[in-house]
């Protein structure tokens, strides 16, 4: 059943926000690419222009050259040896120098830039985002708090956060987790296998396990709990289908079916026929 929504207009476009869009979109999104409306944020102008110019099979793509923080203000950007380590925060050099990859965090330039709170960005004020993925080098929590209006409508959230202070004053996984739980987001997946080895004779030895310094995690909004609390955002049939597609593409079939029951019995945006079809697990496979 869900497969047909990739080829018709029932679902509309899945609005995905990519904060820290440098590089390329993870292959996990390929299944949903015919339905993706991507808005990417990348403060490095050259990288933002490169992303905008590259060929893509996504039907709708926009890249905005804005740096995000908790509020609209002027900040100092630390430009490190690796573009993937650029941050508004100072690298925690004393800590990072214990690891073999510390050279990536060497600050080569500092520049004044204007940063924006998500809720202040005019280009997206009318967007009803379904999913957000973040890779913001320690700035996750301020950005989330500065995008409260945006976050209220988001169902799927993907974060990349450190377990410890790899940057001075960064918001760690435990802090982000505590905040998201209060916003009714539940963690559904985690990849902690970003293990880095320390300097010394075993720095390049694959026999040495190293230490996990950060992780990627997937969070889904518990719409069941939101409904009980009276905080459920507006959900029409198209939004409901997009939520189910996001569950299906990540193989969260059990939670998807629980939501389908809510959409059918409580909200009336899915039919009983829809629900009957979704009792077959094959109908979830994309």
Residues 225-254: pLDDT tens digits?
Answer: 999 999 999 999 999 999 999 999 999 999
| Averaged pLDDT for residues 20-26 | 79
Residues 109-161: pLDDT tens digits?
Answer: 999 999 999 999 999 988 899 999 998 888 999 999 999 999 999 999 999 99
Question: Where are the domains positioned within the chain?
Answer: 13-233
pLDDT value for 48: 86
Confidence class of residue 9 from pLDDT cuts 50, 70 and 90?
low
Label residue 124 left, alpha or beta by phi (over 0 means left) and psi (-120 to 50 means alpha): alpha
Is residue 8 scored above 70 in pLDDT? no
pLDDT value for 84: 85
Residues 176-214: pLDDT tens digits?
Answer: 999 999 999 999 999 988 999 999 999 999 999 999 999
Give the CATH number of domain 13-233: 3.40.50.150
Is residue 170 scored above 70 in pLDDT? yes
Residues 42-85: pLDDT tens digits?
Answer: 888 888 888 888 888 889 999 999 999 988 999 999 999 998 88
Is residue 12 scored above 60 in pLDDT? yes
Is residue 2 scored above 90 in pLDDT? no
pTM for this model (two decimals): 0.92
Is residue 6 scored above 60 in pLDDT? no
């Amino acid at each position: 059943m869900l497969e047909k929504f990739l080829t018709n207009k029932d679902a509309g476009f899945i609005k995905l926000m990519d904060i820290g869009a440098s590089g390329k979109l993870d292959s996990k999104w390929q299944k949903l690419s015919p339905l993706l409306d991507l808005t990417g944020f990348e403060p490095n102008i050259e990288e933002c222009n490169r992303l905008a110019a590259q060929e893509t099979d996504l039907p709708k793509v926009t890249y905005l050259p804005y740096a995000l923080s908790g509020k609209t203000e002027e900040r100092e950007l630390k430009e490190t040896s690796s573009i993937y380590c650029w941050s508004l925060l100072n690298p925690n050099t004393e800590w990072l120098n214990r690891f073999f990859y510390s050279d990536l965090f060497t600050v080569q330039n500092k520049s004044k830039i204007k940063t924006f709170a998500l809720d202040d960005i005019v280009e997206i004020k009318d967007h009803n985002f379904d999913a957000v993925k973040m890779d913001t080098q320690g700035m996750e929590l301020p950005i989330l708090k500065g995008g409260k209006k945006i976050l209220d409508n988001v169902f799927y959230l993907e974060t990349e956060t450190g377990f410890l202070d790899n940057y001075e004053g960064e918001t760690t996984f435990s802090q982000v987790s505590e905040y998201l739980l209060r916003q009714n987001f539940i963690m559904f997946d985690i990849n902690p296998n970003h293990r880095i080895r320390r300097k010394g004779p075993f720095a390049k030895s694959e026999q040495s396990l190293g230490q996990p310094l950060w992780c990627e995690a997937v969070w889904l909004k518990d719409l069941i709990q939101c409904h009980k609390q009276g905080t459920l955002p507006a959900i029409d049939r198209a939004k409901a289908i997009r939520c189910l597609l996001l569950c299906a593409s990540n193989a969260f079939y059990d939670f998807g079916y629980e939501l389908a029951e809510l959409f059918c019995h409580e909200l009336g945006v899915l039919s009983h026929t829809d629900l009957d079809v979704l009792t077959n697990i094959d109908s979830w496979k994309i």
